[in-house]
Amino acid sequence: MASKWLSGWLAKLSSPLGDDAPANPAPNNDAAEIRRARQLLDEQFRAGGGIINIQAVQLAAANYRAAMDAEEIAVLRERATRGSDAGRADALVALGIRSDDAGTLVALTEALLAASPAVRSAAARGLLHYADPAAVPVLAQTLLNDDSTEVRWCAAIALGWLDSPDAVPALMTAAGCGDPGVQAGALWALGHLHDPRSEALVDAAKSHEDEVVRTAAQVAMTAYDFQRRNQGKPGL
């Protein structure tokens, strides 16, 4: 049986094409707007790694970064390394959203080795928002080797967001690992990357015995189909 968070993701899972996405908000560094940006980031991630409107989430992250200074980032880094697991997790996600320097990349990758699954999941989410392909190798190792389904799912979704073909081999391996939660995340990510190496694998998963896996594969295949229909069109 799927866990609560995975069932919630499945219930919200929809087309990755963004047909019903709201218009992107204009950049705004007002404190209230920054809070709304954070809410959007969290909601989009839980809805399937930003399936609904990736551009809006990226703009929200840009808003956050514009509002931070070096001292505030240093405080977040301190919070990310000590205190409660919940506090560390919140700080790690915030770091990925608010900071794009090399020190943040180090802090997030080190947190992938933390004892707490909640902290490791947050580190993967932070790397998703940090949005640097340099994180692909460590996220791939987490996807393949972590002992938590949710951590591995977060790593898969992050790899899908990073848009790097280097993530495809690890995602293909994870898509057949036997853990439905991990498989679903990997299949969604493969659909987002729509790399031809993985299309046959994703298509075959549409008949998987597990509902979560089937649904993720069906959604992923819409991305391949969309790419084929629009190949060569301006702006794609």
pLDDT tens digits, one per residue of 97-137: 877 788 899 999 999 999 999 999 999 999 998 889 999 99
Judge whether 169 lies within some domain.
yes
With cut-offs at 50, 70 and 90, classify the pLDDT of residue 9.
Answer: low
Under a CB-based contact definition with an 8 Å cutoff, are residues 190 and 160 in contact? yes
pTM (predicted TM-score): 0.76
Distance CA 139, CA 117 (A): 14
Closest CA relative to residue 142, chosen from 186, 188, 192: 186
Distance CA 31, CA 14 (A): 31
Judge whether 184 lies within some domain.
yes
Judge whether 145 lies within some domain.
yes
Judge whether 203 lies within some domain.
yes
Number of domains in the chain: 1
Residue pLDDT, tens place only, 167-192: 999 999 999 999 999 999 999 999 98
Distance CA 235, CA 207 (A): 33
Distance CA 60, CA 23 (A): 12
In this model, does residue 49 exceed pLDDT 60? Answer: no
Average pLDDT of span 223-231: 78
Under a CB-based contact definition with an 8 Å cutoff, are residues 22 and 47 in contact? no
Specify the pLDDT at position 100. 77
Specify the pLDDT at position 114. 96
Number of Cβ atoms within 10 Å of the Cβ of 138: 19
Judge whether 80 lies within some domain.
no
Under a CB-based contact definition with an 8 Å cutoff, are residues 95 and 117 in contact? no
Judge whether 226 lies within some domain.
yes
- Domain CATH for 180: 1.25.10.10
Q: Establish how many alpha carbons lie within 13 A of residue 160's alpha carbon, considering only the half-sphere containing its beta carbon.
A: 33
Under a CB-based contact definition with an 8 Å cutoff, are residues 45 and 157 in contact? yes
With cut-offs at 50, 70 and 90, classify the pLDDT of residue 7.
Answer: low
How confident is the prediction for the chain on average, in pLDDT?
78
Distance CA 55, CA 121 (A): 22
Q: Work out the angle at residue 22's Cα, subtended by the Cα atoms of residues 21 and 28, and round it to the nearest 5 degrees.
A: 130
With cut-offs at 50, 70 and 90, classify the pLDDT of residue 63.
Answer: low
Number of Cβ atoms within 10 Å of the Cβ of 90: 17
Residue 145 belongs to domain spanning: 136-231
Specify the pLDDT at position 135. 96
Judge whether 93 lies within some domain.
no
Which are the contacts of 125, defined by CB distance < 8 A and separation ≥ 6?
45, 92, 93, 96, 154, 158
Specify the pLDDT at position 61. 58
In this model, does residue 235 exceed pLDDT 50? Answer: no
Specify the pLDDT at position 182. 95
In this model, does residue 53 exceed pLDDT 70? Answer: no
**Percent of the chain at pLDDT exceeding 70:** 68
With cut-offs at 50, 70 and 90, classify the pLDDT of residue 5.
Answer: low
Judge whether 4 lies within some domain.
no
Distance CA 157, CA 155 (A): 6
In this model, does residue 21 exceed pLDDT 50? Answer: no
* 63 or 165, which is more confident: 165
